[in-house]
Chain A
Amino acid sequence: MTTISKELVESFAPDSGTLSRGRSIAKPGNYRKIGVSERAIWGVALGSSEYETRVDLQGPAFRCSCPVKKQPCKHVMGMLLLVAANPAVVVESHMPPDLLEWLQKRDASIEKKKTAPTTVSTVKDVRAQEQRAEKRAANVDQGISELHRFLEDILNIGLAESAKRTDDVWQQVRRRLMDAQAAGLAEWLEQLRQDIGSGDDWVRKSCYRIVQLHLLTAAFSGRQQLPETQQEDIKRRIGWYRARHTYVRSIKGRWLILGVRRQTTSEYERQLVWMFYPPASEFACLQHSVSVNSDVRLPGGFVSGRVADGTLHYLSDGYSLRADFERDNLMDSGQHQDWRVLQALATTDLLSAVTALQQQRVQQPFSDEWPLLVANMRLVHYQQRLALADPHGHIAILHPDFAEVHELLMAMGNQPATLLLTTENGRLFMPWGVLNNGEWTPVGVSSVAGD
């Protein structure tokens, strides 16, 4: 029988209050006519009135006749948690007419999007498009020239002196980059401003940021000599929006979720998900971000140490592991996943793994994180700190931002283990999870999304 897991349900909660209220009403007495099919879960919630509660497992999508706009509401959460905890509450197998109608409409809408022809371009349109593209490229070139001068100026007067510059000076350059339609560069510049003078390692970080900005702008200027996919990648980093559904390749199958981390700032919430596809030893990184002021929530359904059946679409080819994921169905097929497969696929030699990584960075030296699945790693004392070492004594120094070393100790003890590590530079490593007695143990604060 197919099931749905509690953790998965909880990851969809729009906030902790809804989750808590959902938990409190997840009782058989609070619902009637609960039904489950391969496609949907439905029921009637008995609150101050009767509410028709519907979930499309493909998507997923949630609907409730209660007055709450933010979905999934507590009635939906309660019903899903109830079904997750006690499948015996299901009494219906035939979908009610309104649910069928809703699902048909959703299918039609999805189909329409899929089959909608791409913009039919007339000759005039193509010419106009080319003109717009040329104009934009010229604009960006103009912005890059200004940025270049600004970077040179920073190095001329020195980073120490630049740290004293007022925000206005930085804002002015940022605005010019925005005007030049290079929002990506503007964001990098803002990060540079924040890096200068703050933190222990600020000199190295700031210089590295300047270098990356310089490389990115140089790559854009010499873009004609680069393969098209790399050109696209560079344009996206500079600020071009990616056209929807323009994926370079897709993989359909069972993906393992190896790590989930959420970060909240005063402006946005961001979610990073590392996924792995064992049959092809492929990694992918999902990045979601939403403004804290918007009603849109980060997508749920990603729980570290769980599997997800669906189609993963890579946004670029080889130069970045960024991807989108379309889940087939929220229901767990019940098929057992042997996580020990990771041990067999992991490298046992940190040196060769980092060497391969550095070769990738030669092609794509920008500030992405790269994943490494390494077996037989052990915690060791190195220079009065805890670090990881492979059987040959190669050391992986833990990233200073990794504060959960005790979680790593708890999961690993003094035994060798298989880990997912990510690194930006091949020197500092961020652990995400540990293979522990055949189970995947996430490490890090926000390993479960949604609560």
Chain B
Amino acid sequence: VTDKTLALVSAGLRQQKQLEQLLRVAVIGLRNQPQYEDYLVDEVRAQLETKQHDTGSGRFLDALTLSVMRYELASLPTPEVCEWLPDEPSELLQPLSHEAVAVFGYWPDVADIDLILMAYGGYALPASLMIGLLRSASRPRRQLALLQSDARMRWMLAQDSRWIKDIGSELLEHLDRYQQLISTSLASLNDEQCGQLRQLFLVCHEQMRRGLCRWLGRQSAVALLPWVRTVWSECRVDARNDLLSLLLDCPLSALAEKGDSEHLPWLLSILNDRSPALRQRLHQWLSVLAVQARTDHQEWPPLQQRLAQLNQQLALCLCLDDQANKGGWIKQLKQRLVSEPLPLTDVRAPEEMTEALLALGIQDPQDNQHGSKAADRLGQLLQQAGPRLWCCHMGCSEAMAVEVLLHSRYAKELAPFVLKAVLCHRSAEGLKAVIAVLGDESDMQLLVAACVQEANALAPWLVRVLVDVGAWSLLMSESLQKALLMSGVTLSETDSLAFWYGAIKYLRRGFNFERLSILALLLTLPDKQLPQLLADSGWFDEDNHETVLLLFQHIQKFKQELHLLPVHTEGEAR
């Protein structure tokens, strides 16, 4: 830097300072600060001398004009110290085809649900879509989108401090490692990478943890269980909850890897978790495993012991009683049930909390303003035991057991527990019975909420049951459809047709493109029949019929890229 440059810079700064002082006079007013001569450069002062001014403010207006224009017209770029942008990183995610990117461009309305699917699919979100989302989506959604951003997009964001501030540097910091890890399978990670994954899971942002959980949910239970055990004790309660949600879907066999029940002692050891809610879920899981072990004829002492405890407590609540039929609720039930004799069972709620109930993880709710504590205890017990044990005690089918419980004197209090029980224990017969009893509009919210909550663990099974039973009003719930898509399922062609014909009356109630997009993703309608199916629906007028057809066609193409798992009515889910 030469002396001449320094002199120029210093002169420029002085001029800028003087102008700022002059502007300050303009803000506070000439009448408050009449002295401004010191803020004028010599040339301006000389020029003012050549003109006569009638008023002081007229002179100030000229002074201001000359000074501002002098500064404005002298503004030239000067060489500055700046930092070149770093090189762009290499790509980690699989890019989408041009065709799929074109779908995003053509259907901006569906970006929301596409995003969910992209998060599932492990593809890089196209930069054009990301830019749209960054402009309009909520912060959590922006952060979620970022998990699937391609390397160039992340590089772009890292260059702009405003975006870093908005999205959170911690999220950006871990993104490369996150994408590297989820581009492979858990089973193929070496010890060092498992350690990295553990570290990332412990420190990462909530949205990233959600992304990791989605990825972990697609891993084999055999690989998942040991990894969860290494990270469990260091996690906070919300992360432990996420991990438990992953484990609930583990088949019993995975707990006995290498022919030994090595994971069961660990499960028993974590039953006393600090969090009451988590404790309750862990007990529920153990009970589900115990009932499953009974069905599979597995002889594992801790599970057999658990089963005995459950049966013992259940026997006190569901007891044979000749007088049971005299209750008023039975009369109502008799009118509904003609094919099967009513069980002579009375339903009794435990009035006292006992050691035995506590040992099963049953807890009295801290805030129990809406129902009796006794009914709540009974509900928790029933939820743990599940329909297969209920019917053993009641001497009837699972469906009948559900009917009896939902018409008992505790019907209202037990409904959510019965619903959760049939879902957790995967009782298709029970779920059908619950839908038959609770299927009207007023209970729909309860059904939807429970199904949405369990959708991730139960998706393929749940879809099969709901399609079999024709629960179209339930399946038409947007939140349930989204939850099913999030868990990575799509309906087979046969079931999609059944769905389409079954749900048509619900479709006619009104549509929007968001809903259509979800449907288009969830259903696999045969290409050849699609125009006719849409035409037969009577849902669209001449104009939007074409639009809807295009939407379906584009999304069907796009689905092939995402490898969604079609649910078949035949065959077994994982």
Contact = CB atoms under 8 A, between A and B. Distances in A.
Interface of A: 20-21, 23-25, 27, 74, 148, 151-153, 155-161, 203-204, 206-208, 210-211, 214-215, 350-351, 354-355, 358, 361-362, 365, 378-382, 384-387, 389-390, 392-396, 405-407, 409-410, 413-414, 425-427
A337 to B, nearest CB: 23
Nearest to B106: A23
**Across the A-B interface, the 6 shortest Cβ-Cβ residue pairs:** A158-B29, A394-B77, A152-B57, A414-B85, A409-B156, A24-B546
Contacts of B134: 406
A395 B80 contact: yes
A21 B546 CA distance: 9
Given A155-B61, A361-B73, A387 B82 contact: yes
B84 A23 contact: no
Interface in B177-202: none
A449 B358 CA distance: 69
B86 interface: yes
Interface string B49-71: 00000011110111011001100
B78 interface: yes
Contacts of B62: 214
B71 to A, nearest CB: 10
B152 interface: yes
A314 to B, nearest CB: 24
Interface in B426-441: none
Interface stretch (B159-167, B232-240, B365-373, B498-506): B159-167
A151 B82 contact: no
Nearest to A382: B82
Contacts of B74: 358
A153 B60 CA distance: 11
Mostly helix, strand, loop or mixed at chain B's interface?
A: helix
B77 A414 contact: no
Contacts of A203: 23, 26-27
Contacts of A407: 131
Contacts of A365: 69, 72-73
B57 A155 contact: yes
B338 interface: no
Nearest to A365: B69
A152 B55 contact: yes
11 contacts: A155-B29, A159-B27, A210-B64, A354-B76, A358-B76, A365-B69, A365-B72, A380-B83, A381-B83, A410-B131, A425-B75
A218 B268 CA distance: 90
Interface of B: 23, 26-32, 55-58, 60-62, 64-65, 68-69, 72-88, 127, 131, 134, 152, 156-157, 159-161, 163, 542-547
Contacts of A210: 26, 61, 64
Contacts of A206: 26
Contacts of B61: 148, 151-152, 155, 210, 214
Contacts, number: 161
B64 A158 contact: no
Contact of A427 (B26, B27, B75): B75
A207 B23 contact: yes
A215 B65 contact: yes
A354 B79 CA distance: 13
A144 to B, nearest CB: 13
B26 A211 contact: no
Contacts of A362: 73
A405 B29 contact: no
A21 B543 contact: yes
A427 B542 CA distance: 54
Contacts of A211: 64-65, 68-69
B94 to A, nearest CB: 20
A362 B72 CA distance: 10
Given A409-B156, A409-B159, A380 B23 contact: no
A405 B163 CA distance: 10
B82 A156 contact: no
Given A155-B61, A160-B29, 9 more contacts: A210-B26, A378-B85, A386-B159, A386-B160, A393-B79, A396-B77, A406-B156, A407-B131, A413-B152
B86 A414 contact: yes
Contact of A158 (B26, B65, B157): B26
Contacts of A160: 27-29
Contacts of B88: 413-414
A159 B69 CA distance: 19
Most chain A Cβ neighbours within 10 Å, of B72, B78, B546: B72
A159 B82 contact: no
A390 B58 CA distance: 42
B547 A394 contact: no
Contacts of A392: 79
B27 to A, nearest CB: 5
Contacts of B56: 156
Contact of A156 (B57, B78, B163): B57
A417 to B, nearest CB: 12
A161 B82 contact: no
Contact of B23 (A25, A156, A204, A406): A204
Contact of B31 (A157, A354, A394): A157
Contacts of B159: 379, 381, 386, 409
